Amino acid sequence: MGKTSAVAARSATVRLVDEQGASGKVRQIFDDIKKTKNLDHVPNFWRVLATSPAHLELIWGQLKALMHPEATGRTSKLDAKTREIIALAVSATNGCSYCVNSHTTALRKQGVDSETLGEVLAIVALFNGTNSLADGYQIEPDVLPPVE
Amino acid sequence: MGKTSAVAARSATVRLVDEQGASGKVRQIFDDIKKTKNLDHVPNFWRVLATSPAHLELIWGQLKALMHPEATGRTSKLDAKTREIIALAVSATNGCSYCVNSHTTALRKQGVDSETLGEVLAIVALFNGTNSLADGYQIEPDVLPPVE
Amino acid sequence: MGKTSAVAARSATVRLVDEQGASGKVRQIFDDIKKTKNLDHVPNFWRVLATSPAHLELIWGQLKALMHPEATGRTSKLDAKTREIIALAVSATNGCSYCVNSHTTALRKQGVDSETLGEVLAIVALFNGTNSLADGYQIEPDVLPPVE
Amino acid sequence: MGKTSAVAARSATVRLVDEQGASGKVRQIFDDIKKTKNLDHVPNFWRVLATSPAHLELIWGQLKALMHPEATGRTSKLDAKTREIIALAVSATNGCSYCVNSHTTALRKQGVDSETLGEVLAIVALFNGTNSLADGYQIEPDVLPPVE
Amino acid sequence: MGKTSAVAARSATVRLVDEQGASGKVRQIFDDIKKTKNLDHVPNFWRVLATSPAHLELIWGQLKALMHPEATGRTSKLDAKTREIIALAVSATNGCSYCVNSHTTALRKQGVDSETLGEVLAIVALFNGTNSLADGYQIEPDVLPPVE
Amino acid sequence: MGKTSAVAARSATVRLVDEQGASGKVRQIFDDIKKTKNLDHVPNFWRVLATSPAHLELIWGQLKALMHPEATGRTSKLDAKTREIIALAVSATNGCSYCVNSHTTALRKQGVDSETLGEVLAIVALFNGTNSLADGYQIEPDVLPPVE
Q: How many domains does chain C have?
A: 2
Q: Are residues F66 and F28 in the same domain?
A: yes
Structural domain ending residue among the three candidates C57, C76, C95: C76
Confidence at residue D148, expressed as pLDDT on a 0 to 100 scale: 62
Confidence at residue F147, expressed as pLDDT on a 0 to 100 scale: 85
B60, containing H or E segment: helix B53-67
Q: What is the mean pLDDT of residues B109-133?
A: 97
Which residues in chain D (27-56) have CB-CB distances under 8 A to chain F? none
Inspect the interface and report whether the beta carbons of A51 and C10 lie closer than 8 Å.
no
Confidence at residue B148, expressed as pLDDT on a 0 to 100 scale: 62
Q: Are residues D63 and D99 in the same domain?
A: no
Give the domain CATH number at A110: 1.20.1290.10
Across the C:D interface, residue pairs with CB atoms under 8 Å apart total: 212
Q: What is the mean pLDDT of residues B49-76?
A: 97
Closest residue in B to D53 (Cα) is B115
Per-residue confidence band for A31, with pLDDT thresholds at 50, 70 and 90: very high
In percent, the amount of chain B with pLDDT more than 70 equals 93
Nearest-CA distance F102 → chain A (Å): 11
Distance between terminal CA atoms of chain D? 65
**Host domain of residue E60:** 12-76
Confidence at residue F111, expressed as pLDDT on a 0 to 100 scale: 96
Residue partners of C20: CB distance under 8 A and separation at least 6: none
Inspect the interface and report whether the beta carbons of F136 and A130 lie closer than 8 Å.
no
Question: Distance (Å, rounded) from C-alpha C123 to C-alpha C108?
Answer: 18
Q: Is residue C40 part of a domain?
A: yes
Q: Is residue E7 part of a domain?
A: no
Q: Is residue C1 part of a domain?
A: no
Structural domain ending residue among the three candidates D48, D76, D104: D76
Residue partners of C110: CB distance under 8 A and separation at least 6: C80, C81, C84
Per-residue confidence band for C87, with pLDDT thresholds at 50, 70 and 90: very high
Q: Is residue D2 part of a domain?
A: no
Confidence at residue A57, expressed as pLDDT on a 0 to 100 scale: 98
Inspect the interface and report whether the beta carbons of E55 and A121 lie closer than 8 Å.
yes
Closest residue in B to D60 (Cα) is B122
Q: Are residues B72 and B83 in the same domain?
A: no
Least confident of B34-48, D69-83, F6-20: F6-20
Q: Is residue E2 part of a domain?
A: no
Q: Are residues C16 and C70 in the same domain?
A: yes
CA distances from B30 to A131, B80, B83, D146, E148 (A): 20, 22, 22, 60, 22
In percent, the amount of chain A with pLDDT more than 90 equals 91
User: Which of B4, B114, B137 is the mutation pick for testing D, counting most D CBs within 10 A?
Assistant: B114
Mean pLDDT for all residues in chain A: 92
Is the per-residue pLDDT at D40 higher than 80? yes
Q: Is residue A147 part of a domain?
A: no
Confidence at residue E10, expressed as pLDDT on a 0 to 100 scale: 54
Is the per-residue pLDDT at F3 higher than 70? no
Q: Are residues A88 and A72 in the same domain?
A: no
Confidence at residue D3, expressed as pLDDT on a 0 to 100 scale: 32
Q: Are residues A70 and A101 in the same domain?
A: no
Q: Are residues E72 and E82 in the same domain?
A: no
With contacts defined as CB-CB under 8 Å, which chain B residues touch D7?
A: 8-11
With contacts defined as CB-CB under 8 Å, which chain A residues touch F137?
A: 100, 121
Structural domain ending residue among the three candidates A53, A76, A99: A76
Is the per-residue pLDDT at A36 higher than 50? yes
Is the per-residue pLDDT at D8 higher than 90? no
Confidence at residue E81, expressed as pLDDT on a 0 to 100 scale: 98
| A112: exposed, middle or buried (Cβ count in 10 Å: 0-12, 13-18, 19+) | buried
Inspect the interface and report whether the beta carbons of B8 and D4 lie closer than 8 Å.
yes
Contact F132, A93 (CB under 8 A): yes
* Chain segment A113-128, per-residue pLDDT in tens: 999 999 999 999 999 9
pTM: 0.95
| A75: exposed, middle or buried (Cβ count in 10 Å: 0-12, 13-18, 19+) | exposed
Query: Which three-class secondary structure string do you get for D59-124?
Result: HHHHHHHHHCHHHHCCCCCCCHHHHHHHHHHHHHHHCCHHHHHHHHHHHHHCCCCHHHHHHHHHHH
Q: Are residues A85 and A134 in the same domain?
A: yes
Q: Are residues F82 and F129 in the same domain?
A: yes
- B4, B7, B145 member nearest E13 (Cβ): B145
- B15, B65, B144 member nearest E148 (Cβ): B15
Per-residue confidence band for A2, with pLDDT thresholds at 50, 70 and 90: very low
Question: Distance (Å, rounded) from C-alpha E27 to C-alpha F3?
Answer: 52
Nearest residue to C19 (alpha-carbon basis) of C37, C32, C10, C8: C32
Per-residue confidence band for E147, with pLDDT thresholds at 50, 70 and 90: confident
Which residues in chain B (50-89) have CB-CB distances under 8 A to chain E? 54, 58, 62, 65-66, 74
Q: Are residues C16 and C71 in the same domain?
A: yes
Using CB atoms, which chains have 3+ pairs under 8 A with D?
A, B, C, E, F
Q: Is residue B133 part of a domain?
A: yes
Q: Are residues F54 and F83 in the same domain?
A: no
Q: Is residue E107 part of a domain?
A: yes
Query: Which three-class secondary structure string do you get for chain F?
Result: CCCCCCCCCCCCCCCCCCCCCCCHHHHHHHHHHHHHHCCCCCCHHHHHHCCCHHHHHHHHHHHHHHHCHHHHCCCCCCCHHHHHHHHHHHHHHHCCHHHHHHHHHHHHHCCCCHHHHHHHHHHHHHHHHHHHHHHHCCCCCCCCCCCC
Is the per-residue pLDDT at F4 higher than 50? no
Mean pLDDT for all residues in chain D: 93
With contacts defined as CB-CB under 8 Å, which chain E residues touch C49?
A: 118
Confidence at residue E148, expressed as pLDDT on a 0 to 100 scale: 63
Coil, helix or strand for E72? helix
Q: Are residues A82 and A64 in the same domain?
A: no
Q: What is the mean pLDDT of residues B79-102?
A: 98
